[in-house]
Homo-oligomer: A and B are copies of this chain.
Amino acid sequence: MSTIKDVARIAGVSIATVSRVVNKGPKVGEKTRNRVLKIMQEIGYMPNANARALVTQKNTTIGVVIPDLTDPFFASLAHGVDKIAREKNMQVLLSTGLISESSERQAINLLLERRCDAVVIHSKKLSDDELVELSKRVPGLILIDRFIERIKHRCVWLDNAEGGKLAARHLLAMAHNSFACITSQYEIDDPLLRLQGFKDGILDAGFTLENKLIAKQEPTLQGGEIAAQELLSQNIPFSALFVYNDAMAIGAISTFEDNGFRVPQDISVIGFDDVLLSRYSRPKLTTLNYPIEDMAANAALLALEYRESPEQYSAPEGLKYLPSLVTRESTIRNKSR
């Protein structure tokens, strides 16, 4: 691939001039400019972004760390960042660290080695301390879906407990009085807080959640199917089910129906996330909207700002989002007595 030197040689000018043309810099004679432009065109010259990044110390790249792209939730996250990247004429560098401490660390390191201008990180496994340390070294680093008090200005997160509460109140308002829950088996904040919020919510009305009616599995469609089976096998009736996320909820509904239980007539089900799927599953899923795309876009914006002025925090309290209830067809007023 040709370089700036080739262009300069053929055009009979110095590389400085070519550089000025490429960067639309000032003070280049009309004639020279056109000649250089023409030659660049002819030999198919493309400036080497790596070389440029090396000298300018910025490479128009936003890094994203997510576990995986198959999960629509994370695809939305990446898309939110990409949206901003496009606006700013930047690009997204993906670093997928499946969920393990070392792979998350490595995914982040790869982005840092690339000297990404900004980094949006979805990390569940790394310790608070490590993340705090990291944030000191990297100004344009934002944590998404995670809250760490010490560096809250670097955090963009959702109030999960509030989501659990909203779910509880919705079910309560529908006169439900016996509850079950399907949650993620991972002992991280999100499921823990959602569950806690839900428990708190029903407790306000004097209800509790039996431990036997809490099923934990992988937070996937398949996990939801298995969890629903576990619940059914307990042979304890319940009229309403709070599920960790939409994927699990849809998996669970699938299992219920295969076993002769109708949703919502026999069991009301409420999910979490409001992914596209939830709008087109049958029955349409009642769920809590998780504005992840928006959050990711704002995280990217924030990262970019911090990278520009590392001392000046435009969001000193961080960005906290609230989930909101989306009532569709999978929940219904409790008829049983």
Contacts and interface: CB of A to CB of B under 8 A. Distances in A.
Contact of A113 (B49, B82, B221, B283): B49
For chain A, what secondary structure do more than half of its interface residues adopt (helix, strand, loop), or is it mixed? Answer: helix
Contacts of A76: 69-70
Given A72-B75, A254-B280, A46 B93 contact: no
Contact of A115 (B49, B92, B250): B49
Interface residues of A, number: 47
Interface of A: 1, 44, 46-51, 53-54, 59, 61, 68-70, 72, 75-76, 78-79, 82, 86, 91-96, 109-110, 112-115, 137, 221, 250-251, 254, 257, 276-277, 279-283
A3 to B, nearest CB: 11
Contacts of A257: 282
9 contacts: A46-B112, A47-B113, A61-B93, A69-B69, A82-B96, A92-B96, A250-B280, A257-B282, A282-B283
A251 B79 CA distance: 22
Given A70-B76, A280-B254, A281-B282, A46 B109 contact: yes
A54 B55 CA distance: 11
B282 A113 contact: no
Given A47-B113, A48-B54, 18 more contacts: A46-B113, A49-B110, A49-B115, A50-B115, A68-B79, A69-B69, A69-B75, A70-B276, A78-B94, A82-B96, A91-B95, A93-B93, A93-B94, A94-B94, A221-B276, A221-B279, A221-B280, A254-B280
